[in-house]
Copies of this chain bind each other. A is one copy, B any other.
Protein backbone atom coordinates (compact mmCIF):
# COMPACT_ATOMS: atom_id res chain seq x y z
CA UNK A 1 0.00 0.00 0.00
CA UNK A 2 3.08 2.25 0.10
CA UNK A 3 2.59 5.06 -2.44
CA UNK A 4 5.51 5.50 -4.80
CA UNK A 5 6.42 8.29 -7.16
CA UNK A 6 5.21 7.11 -10.58
CA UNK A 7 7.84 7.04 -13.28
CA UNK A 8 6.81 8.20 -16.79
CA UNK A 9 9.33 5.85 -18.40
CA UNK A 10 7.64 2.91 -16.72
CA UNK A 11 4.17 3.85 -17.97
CA UNK A 12 5.49 4.10 -21.51
CA UNK A 13 5.94 0.34 -21.37
CA UNK A 14 2.21 -0.25 -20.94
CA UNK A 15 0.43 -1.34 -24.12
CA UNK A 16 -2.55 0.69 -22.99
CA UNK A 17 -0.61 3.92 -23.50
CA UNK A 18 1.39 3.12 -26.60
CA UNK A 19 1.42 5.76 -29.31
CA UNK A 20 0.80 8.70 -26.97
CA UNK A 21 2.87 11.85 -26.94
CA UNK A 22 4.91 13.10 -23.99
CA UNK A 23 2.28 15.63 -22.88
CA UNK A 24 -0.41 12.96 -22.67
CA UNK A 25 1.90 10.59 -20.81
CA UNK A 26 2.72 13.33 -18.31
CA UNK A 27 -1.01 13.84 -17.71
CA UNK A 28 -1.48 10.11 -17.23
CA UNK A 29 1.40 9.92 -14.78
CA UNK A 30 0.02 12.81 -12.75
CA UNK A 31 -3.30 11.04 -12.27
CA UNK A 32 -1.85 7.61 -11.50
CA UNK A 33 -1.49 5.96 -8.11
CA UNK A 34 1.41 3.56 -7.70
CA UNK A 35 1.81 1.06 -4.87
CA UNK A 36 3.53 -2.11 -3.75
CA UNK A 37 1.32 -5.16 -3.48
CA UNK A 38 2.36 -7.98 -1.19
CA UNK A 39 2.19 -11.59 -2.34
CA UNK A 40 -1.17 -13.08 -1.45
CA UNK A 41 -3.05 -9.77 -1.53
CA UNK A 42 -6.50 -9.80 -3.08
CA UNK A 43 -6.53 -6.71 -5.30
CA UNK A 44 -10.23 -6.93 -6.04
CA UNK A 45 -12.94 -9.52 -5.64
CA UNK A 46 -15.61 -10.89 -7.94
CA UNK A 47 -18.79 -8.87 -7.52
CA UNK A 48 -17.07 -5.72 -6.23
CA UNK A 49 -17.95 -2.40 -7.83
CA UNK A 50 -15.29 -1.79 -10.48
CA UNK A 51 -14.00 1.56 -9.21
CA UNK A 52 -10.39 1.28 -10.40
CA UNK A 53 -8.52 0.53 -13.63
CA UNK A 54 -5.36 -1.41 -12.83
CA UNK A 55 -2.06 -2.11 -14.51
CA UNK A 56 0.90 -4.12 -13.35
CA UNK A 57 4.41 -2.65 -13.44
CA UNK A 58 6.04 -5.77 -12.12
CA UNK A 59 4.98 -9.11 -10.65
CA UNK A 60 2.25 -11.59 -11.45
CA UNK A 61 -1.48 -11.48 -10.75
CA UNK A 62 -3.98 -14.31 -11.13
CA UNK A 63 -7.44 -13.46 -12.45
CA UNK A 64 -9.86 -16.20 -11.41
CA UNK A 65 -13.62 -16.64 -11.60
CA UNK A 66 -15.64 -18.55 -9.03
CA UNK A 67 -18.86 -20.37 -9.88
CA UNK A 68 -21.97 -20.56 -7.74
CA UNK A 69 -20.82 -23.88 -6.28
CA UNK A 70 -17.28 -22.70 -5.55
CA UNK A 71 -15.67 -24.06 -8.69
CA UNK A 72 -12.73 -21.97 -9.77
CA UNK A 73 -11.55 -21.03 -13.24
CA UNK A 74 -8.26 -19.28 -13.89
CA UNK A 75 -9.09 -16.67 -16.51
CA UNK A 76 -5.54 -15.46 -17.07
CA UNK A 77 -2.26 -14.49 -15.47
CA UNK A 78 -1.29 -10.82 -15.74
CA UNK A 79 2.37 -9.86 -16.02
CA UNK A 80 4.32 -6.61 -16.00
CA UNK A 81 3.06 -4.09 -18.54
CA UNK A 82 -0.47 -5.48 -18.74
CA UNK A 83 -3.67 -3.80 -17.62
CA UNK A 84 -6.40 -5.64 -15.72
CA UNK A 85 -9.81 -4.90 -14.30
CA UNK A 86 -10.22 -2.17 -16.89
CA UNK A 87 -12.76 -3.83 -19.16
CA UNK A 88 -15.06 -4.29 -16.16
CA UNK A 89 -15.03 -0.55 -15.46
CA UNK A 90 -16.47 0.17 -18.89
CA UNK A 91 -18.71 -2.91 -19.14
CA UNK A 92 -21.17 -2.95 -16.33
CA UNK A 93 -18.99 -1.69 -13.51
CA UNK A 94 -18.67 -4.97 -11.61
CA UNK A 95 -15.48 -7.02 -11.53
CA UNK A 96 -16.38 -10.45 -12.93
CA UNK A 97 -13.45 -12.21 -11.22
CA UNK A 98 -10.95 -12.05 -8.38
CA UNK A 99 -7.45 -10.62 -8.76
CA UNK A 100 -4.79 -12.17 -6.54
CA UNK A 101 -1.10 -11.26 -6.32
CA UNK A 102 0.92 -14.46 -6.84
CA UNK A 103 4.20 -12.74 -5.88
CA UNK A 104 5.17 -9.32 -4.55
CA UNK A 105 4.06 -6.84 -7.20
CA UNK A 106 4.20 -3.20 -8.14
CA UNK A 107 0.88 -1.94 -9.41
CA UNK A 108 -0.60 1.28 -10.64
CA UNK A 109 -4.22 2.34 -10.89
CA UNK A 110 -6.58 5.11 -11.90
CA UNK A 111 -10.12 5.80 -10.78
CA UNK A 112 -12.85 4.89 -13.23
CA UNK A 113 -13.76 8.56 -13.69
CA UNK A 114 -10.17 9.60 -14.35
CA UNK A 115 -9.63 6.87 -16.92
CA UNK A 116 -12.90 7.76 -18.59
CA UNK A 117 -11.81 11.36 -18.95
CA UNK A 118 -8.38 10.32 -20.21
CA UNK A 119 -10.02 8.20 -22.88
CA UNK A 120 -12.39 10.96 -23.93
CA UNK A 121 -9.48 13.37 -24.24
CA UNK A 122 -7.12 10.85 -25.84
CA UNK A 123 -9.18 8.44 -27.97
CA UNK A 124 -5.98 6.55 -28.66
CA UNK A 125 -6.18 5.12 -25.14
CA UNK A 126 -9.70 3.85 -25.80
CA UNK A 127 -8.53 2.36 -29.10
CA UNK A 128 -5.61 0.65 -27.33
CA UNK A 129 -7.98 -0.72 -24.70
CA UNK A 130 -10.29 -2.01 -27.43
CA UNK A 131 -7.31 -3.68 -29.08
CA UNK A 132 -6.23 -5.36 -25.84
CA UNK A 133 -9.72 -6.50 -24.83
CA UNK A 134 -10.38 -7.75 -28.37
CA UNK A 135 -7.25 -9.88 -28.27
CA UNK A 136 -8.22 -11.31 -24.91
CA UNK A 137 -11.65 -12.11 -26.32
CA UNK A 138 -10.01 -13.99 -29.16
CA UNK A 139 -7.75 -15.86 -26.78
CA UNK A 140 -10.61 -16.88 -24.54
CA UNK A 141 -12.63 -18.00 -27.56
CA UNK A 142 -9.72 -20.16 -28.64
CA UNK A 143 -9.53 -21.70 -25.18
CA UNK A 144 -13.27 -22.31 -25.37
CA UNK A 145 -12.77 -24.27 -28.58
CA UNK A 146 -9.86 -26.21 -27.10
CA UNK A 147 -11.93 -27.07 -24.06
CA UNK A 148 -14.82 -28.21 -26.27
CA UNK A 149 -12.87 -30.35 -28.64
CA UNK A 150 -9.53 -31.42 -27.20
CA UNK A 151 -8.50 -34.10 -24.73
CA UNK A 152 -7.03 -33.09 -21.41
CA UNK A 153 -3.42 -33.83 -22.34
CA UNK A 154 -3.51 -31.45 -25.30
CA UNK A 155 -5.16 -28.74 -23.25
CA UNK A 156 -2.50 -28.95 -20.56
CA UNK A 157 0.19 -28.76 -23.24
CA UNK A 158 -1.48 -25.65 -24.70
CA UNK A 159 -1.75 -24.08 -21.28
CA UNK A 160 1.92 -24.64 -20.48
CA UNK A 161 3.01 -23.27 -23.85
CA UNK A 162 0.86 -20.20 -23.33
CA UNK A 163 2.35 -19.71 -19.86
CA UNK A 164 5.86 -20.17 -21.22
CA UNK A 165 5.20 -17.44 -23.77
CA UNK A 166 3.74 -15.05 -21.18
CA UNK A 167 5.83 -15.88 -18.15
CA UNK A 168 8.71 -18.03 -19.36
CA UNK A 169 12.27 -17.45 -18.23
CA UNK A 170 15.12 -19.12 -20.12
CA UNK A 171 17.21 -21.24 -17.78
CA UNK A 172 20.05 -23.65 -18.46
CA UNK A 173 17.96 -26.68 -19.27
CA UNK A 174 14.83 -25.15 -20.76
CA UNK A 175 12.15 -22.60 -19.98
CA UNK A 176 10.85 -22.08 -16.48
CA UNK A 177 7.52 -20.56 -15.48
CA UNK A 178 8.63 -17.59 -13.41
CA UNK A 179 6.03 -17.66 -10.64
CA UNK A 180 4.65 -20.26 -8.22
CA UNK A 181 2.17 -22.41 -10.14
CA UNK A 182 0.50 -25.38 -8.49
CA UNK A 183 -1.04 -28.44 -10.13
CA UNK A 184 -4.35 -27.10 -8.92
CA UNK A 185 -3.75 -23.83 -10.81
CA UNK A 186 -3.02 -25.73 -14.03
CA UNK A 187 -6.14 -27.82 -13.47
CA UNK A 188 -8.22 -24.65 -13.12
CA UNK A 189 -6.77 -23.29 -16.35
CA UNK A 190 -7.61 -26.41 -18.30
CA UNK A 191 -10.87 -27.59 -16.80
CA UNK A 192 -9.61 -30.76 -15.19
CA UNK A 193 -8.50 -31.98 -11.75
CA UNK A 194 -5.17 -31.68 -10.02
CA UNK A 195 -4.95 -35.48 -10.04
CA UNK A 196 -5.11 -35.68 -13.80
CA UNK A 197 -2.60 -32.83 -14.17
CA UNK A 198 -0.24 -34.59 -11.77
CA UNK A 199 -0.48 -37.84 -13.76
CA UNK A 200 0.16 -36.05 -17.04
CA UNK A 201 3.15 -34.13 -15.73
CA UNK A 202 4.57 -37.29 -14.19
CA UNK A 203 4.25 -38.99 -17.56
CA UNK A 204 5.99 -36.12 -19.33
CA UNK A 205 8.69 -35.98 -16.69
CA UNK A 206 9.39 -39.65 -17.38
CA UNK A 207 9.89 -38.75 -21.05
CA UNK A 208 12.14 -35.81 -20.16
CA UNK A 209 9.72 -33.27 -21.62
CA UNK A 210 9.19 -31.27 -18.43
CA UNK A 211 10.61 -31.06 -14.96
CA UNK A 212 8.30 -30.40 -12.06
CA UNK A 213 8.75 -29.24 -8.51
CA UNK A 214 6.63 -27.84 -5.77
CA UNK A 215 4.56 -25.07 -7.39
CA UNK A 216 7.09 -25.00 -10.18
CA UNK A 217 7.37 -26.27 -13.76
CA UNK A 218 10.26 -26.18 -16.23
CA UNK A 219 9.77 -27.10 -19.88
CA UNK A 220 12.82 -28.95 -21.15
CA UNK A 221 11.60 -29.88 -24.64
CA UNK A 222 9.23 -27.20 -25.90
CA UNK A 223 9.04 -28.84 -29.35
CA UNK A 224 7.77 -32.07 -27.79
CA UNK A 225 5.10 -30.09 -25.99
CA UNK A 226 4.11 -28.42 -29.25
CA UNK A 227 3.83 -31.86 -30.85
CA UNK A 228 1.44 -32.93 -28.09
CA UNK A 229 -0.54 -29.68 -28.26
CA UNK A 230 -0.92 -29.93 -32.04
CA UNK A 231 -1.54 -33.66 -31.89
CA UNK A 232 1.34 -34.36 -34.26
CA UNK A 233 2.65 -37.90 -34.66
CA UNK A 234 5.71 -38.34 -32.46
CA UNK A 235 8.16 -41.00 -31.31
CA UNK A 236 6.84 -43.41 -28.73
CA UNK A 237 3.24 -42.61 -29.60
CA UNK A 238 2.62 -44.42 -32.90
CA UNK A 239 -0.50 -43.52 -34.85
CA UNK A 240 -3.00 -46.33 -34.73
CA UNK A 241 -3.67 -47.46 -38.33
Which residues on A are within 8 Å of B, measured CB to CB?
A: 65, 67-69, 71, 73, 75, 87-88, 90-92, 96-97, 116, 119-120, 123-124, 126-127, 129-138, 140-149, 188, 190-191, 230-231
Question: A133 to chain B: which residues have CB within 8 Å?
Answer: 87, 91, 130, 133-134, 137
Q: Besides A116-B127, A136-B137, A144-B144, 11 other CB < 8 A contacts?
A: A65-B141, A65-B142, A68-B230, A71-B149, A90-B131, A119-B127, A126-B130, A130-B130, A140-B140, A140-B141, A144-B147
A145 touching B73 by the CB < 8 A rule? yes
A124 (CB) vs chain B CBs: closest residue: B120
Q: How far is the CA of A230 from the CA of B71 in the complex (A)?
A: 13
Q: How far is the CA of A151 from the CA of B69 in the complex (A)?
A: 13
Q: How far is the CA of A130 from the CA of B143 in the complex (A)?
A: 21
A137 touching B135 by the CB < 8 A rule? no
Q: How far is the CA of A146 from the CA of B67 in the complex (A)?
A: 8
A143 with B144: in contact, given A133-B130, A133-B133, A230-B68 (CB under 8 Å)?
Answer: yes
Instruction: From A129, A134, A231, name the one whose CB has the most chain B CB atoms within 10 angstroms.
Output: A134
* Least Cβ–Cβ distance between A103 and chain B, in angstroms: 24
